[in-house]
């Protein structure tokens, strides 16, 4: 199956897109949620760079556009913050990646993979 065929399938079938991703990052994935804006992957913070590297460099997925970053504070939880990264693949598929981080923990920057993350990470 050529990349052109996959492009057409991913563009018309978001479930196939996320199924391919799940099959390839199974060991790094906690769970997946589907919502109105598309699928959201939940991963552990130390898996962030390996997952994003795979998704960015994989010839089939081609997650190339970093769209947005949001942080949600849950003040009464032990692991207080949820960092949500929003991406767009070349197949026009949106993908959210969520990582939970405790107050005293540091999250590694993704700007080495996505240059546009520099400003958003500083503001978060």
pLDDT band at 24 (very low <50, low <70, confident <90, very high): confident
What topology is assigned to 3-123 in CATH?
Beta Polymerase; domain 2 (3.30.460)
pLDDT score for 85? 95
Element (H, E) at 122: helix 117-123
Question: What is residue 62's predicted lDDT score, i.e. its pLDDT?
Answer: 81
Q: What percent of the chain has pLDDT over 90?
A: 35
**Burial (Cβ within 10 Å: 0-12, 13-18, ≥19) of residue 32:** middle
DSSP strand pairing (81-89 vs 94-101): antiparallel
Residue 29 burial by CB count (10 A; 0-12/13-18/19+): exposed, middle or buried?
A: middle
Q: What is the pLDDT of residue 121?
A: 80
With 90 as the cut, is the pLDDT of residue 89 above it?
no
pLDDT digits over 63-80, tens only? 889 999 999 999 999 999
- Cβ neighbours of residue 99 closer than 8 Å, sequence gap 6 or more: 42, 43, 44, 45, 48, 82, 83, 85, 107
């Amino acid at each position: 199956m050529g990349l052109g065929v996959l492009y057409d399938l991913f563009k018309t079938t978001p479930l196939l897109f996320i199924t391919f991703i799940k099959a390839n990052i199974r060991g790094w994935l906690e769970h997946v949620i589907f919502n109105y804006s598309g699928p959201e992957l939940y991963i552990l913070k130390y898996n962030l760079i390996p997952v994003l590297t795979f998704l960015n460099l994989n010839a089939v997925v081609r997650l190339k556009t970093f769209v947005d970053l949001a942080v949600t504070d849950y003040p009464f939880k032990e692991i207080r913050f949820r960092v949500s990264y929003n991406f767009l693949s070349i197949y026009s598929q949106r993908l959210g990646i969520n990582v939970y981080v405790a107050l005293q923990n540091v999250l590694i920057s993704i700007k080495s993979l996505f240059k546009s993350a520099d400003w958003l990470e500083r503001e978060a």
